[in-house]
């Protein structure tokens, strides 16, 4: 990934995220990894979570040296207990979360009539319920601080359905 240049920072009207603590769900791969690396490049302290320990460790190693402090934790953001633990441990390690990026997501493609109720629950819980759970967990400290940003990563699939994407499109 190319570094964020001073020109691009000025274009974004952001000079630095120094002092910010960012939590990126699904930060262990793909778009979440790229977001975590960009936030670190902009000076934020970064926490990531995901379900794959090896992938988390790999991204944590990439983040180390790009930001002052890094925190990672295996967490299933569809479970309230995991979310509570994640937020508590992140804030204990890094301080209050000031930026939340709800990025965790899964697919579940194919004809909807061939999918099970468990498939439906997995997609909706990951792509939709997790946004509620994690946002609800970080909002109180943001409200106390009088500031904070919650960014929800979505998809045009929520507006433009496609064949075989019934579960995914419904979740977006």
Domain regions of the chain by residue span? 6-107+131-157
CB distance 172 to 106 below 8 Å: no
CATH class of 6-107+131-157: alpha beta
Cα–Cα distance measured from residue 165 to residue 124, given in angstroms and rounded to the nearest whole number: 13
Torsion angle (degrees, nearest 10) of CA 112, 164, 172, 42: 140
- Where is 21: in which H helix or E strand? strand 21-25
Measured on CA atoms in the order 117, 120, 124, 127, is the torsion positive or negative? positive
CB distance 46 to 38 below 8 Å: no
The pTM for the full model equals 0.90
CB distance 100 to 77 below 8 Å: no
pLDDT digits (tens, 9 = 90+) for 125-136: 999 999 999 999
CB distance 122 to 112 below 8 Å: no
Q: Which residues are catalytic?
A: 168
Would you give the distance in Å from CA 112 to the centre of its chain? 27
CB distance 43 to 25 below 8 Å: no
Ordered DSSP codes for 123-148: HHIIIIIHHHHHHHHHHHHHHHHT--
Q: Encode burial over 7-28: b for 16+ CB neighbours within 10 A, e otherwise.
A: eebeeeeeeebeebbbbbbbbb
User: From the CA atom positions of the chain, what is the Rg in Å?
Assistant: 17
Q: What pLDDT score was predicted for residue 10? A: 59
pLDDT digits (tens, 9 = 90+) for 58-113: 999 999 989 879 999 999 999 999 999 999 999 999 999 999 999 999 998 999 99
Quick count: other Cβ atoms within 10 Å of Cβ 149? 12
Q: What pLDDT score was predicted for residue 12? A: 57
pLDDT digits (tens, 9 = 90+) for 6-37: 655 555 565 699 999 999 999 999 999 999 99
């Amino acid at each position: 990934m190319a570094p964020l240049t001073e020109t691009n920072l000025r274009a974004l009207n952001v000079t630095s995220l120094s002092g910010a603590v960012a939590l990126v769900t699904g930060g262990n791969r793909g778009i979440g990894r790229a977001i975590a690396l960009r936030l670190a490049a902009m000076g934020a302290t970064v926490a990531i979570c995901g379900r794959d320990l090896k992938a988390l460790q790999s991204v944590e190693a990439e983040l180390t040296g790009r930001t002052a402090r890094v925190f990672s934790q295996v967490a299933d953001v569809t479970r309230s207990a995991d979310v509570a633990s994640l937020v508590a441990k992140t804030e204990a390690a890094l301080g209050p979360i000031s930026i939340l990026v709800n990025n965790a997501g899964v697919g579940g493609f194919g004809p909807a009539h061939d999918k099970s109720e468990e498939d439906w629950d997995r997609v909706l819980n990951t792509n939709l319920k997790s946004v509620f759970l994690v946002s609800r967990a970080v909002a109180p400290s943001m409200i106390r601080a009088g500031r904070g940003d919650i960014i929800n990563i979505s998809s045009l699939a929520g507006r433009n359905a496609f064949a075989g994407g019934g579960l995914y499109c419904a979740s977006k």
